[in-house]
């Protein structure tokens, strides 16, 4: 049994306010997609408010950035949720709601079992990935680091 879980942070730059018609297709699916994560094999934790989402959390002092952060038992469990579930439909539709980013928008890293990462921790990992590329400290699905 591993003494580590996998944390992930992803960000997206919204094309408009969450209350806009532009963002409606994304916002309308948030509860469904969050519930899917909560019920997925290997899911441990996700950043959320009392309302159950993370849209009010901010990162990099940019109000147009939406973030998602979660912890999973393994990279395989996260990969299954992201790419082999209904979640992939949101990935396919991302160009409707979000601007293309020229910097890394997702980072993965290991955390000790029981550790709940903070937004600032995720922000630092994403910056590390941008500055140094994939390492043991901050990596990607394409270039994972397995503990």
pLDDT digits (tens, 9 = 90+) for 73-121: 999 999 999 999 989 888 888 999 999 999 999 999 999 999 999 999 9
Tell me whether residue 144 is in a domain: no
**Residue 36's CATH number:** 3.30.70.100
What integer is the mean pLDDT of 48-68? 91
Q: How far is CA 65 from CA 23, 58, 59, 97, 130, in A?
A: 13, 7, 7, 12, 17
User: Residue 9 is part of which domain span?
Assistant: 4-132
Q: Check pLDDT > 70 for residue 7.
A: yes
Does residue 32 lie within any of the structural domains? yes
Alpha helices for the chain (secondary structure H): 24-27, 30-38, 75-83, 87-92, 94-97, 119-132
Please, which residues bridge with residue 107 across strands?
9
What average pLDDT is seen over the chain? Answer: 94
Pairing of strands 4-14, 98-99: antiparallel
pLDDT at 51: 82
Number of structural domains the chain divides into? 1
Structural domain includes residue 138 = no
Q: Is residue 77 part of a domain?
A: yes
139 part of a folded domain: no
Give a yes or no: residue 93 inside a domain: yes
What is the model's pTM? 0.93
In a domain, 108, yes or no: yes
**Is 146 part of a structural domain of the chain?**
no
């Amino acid at each position: 049994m591993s003494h580590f879980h996998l944390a992930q942070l992803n960000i997206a730059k919204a094309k408009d306010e969450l209350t806009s018609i532009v963002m409606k297709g994304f916002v309308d699916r948030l509860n469904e997609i969050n519930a899917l994560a909560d019920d997925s094999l290997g899911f441990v934790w996700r950043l959320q408010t009392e309302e159950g989402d993370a849209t009010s959390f901010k990162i990099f002092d940019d109000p147009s950035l939406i973030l998602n952060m979660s912890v999973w038992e393994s990279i395989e469990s996260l990969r299954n949720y992201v790419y082999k579930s209904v979640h992939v439909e949101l990935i396919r539709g991302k160009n409707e709601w979000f601007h293309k980013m020229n910097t890394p928008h997702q980072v993965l890293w290991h955390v000790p079992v029981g550790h709940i990462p903070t937004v600032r921790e995720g922000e630092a990992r994403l910056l590390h990935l941008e500055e140094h590329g994939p390492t043991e400290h901050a990596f990607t699905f394409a270039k994972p680091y397995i503990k």
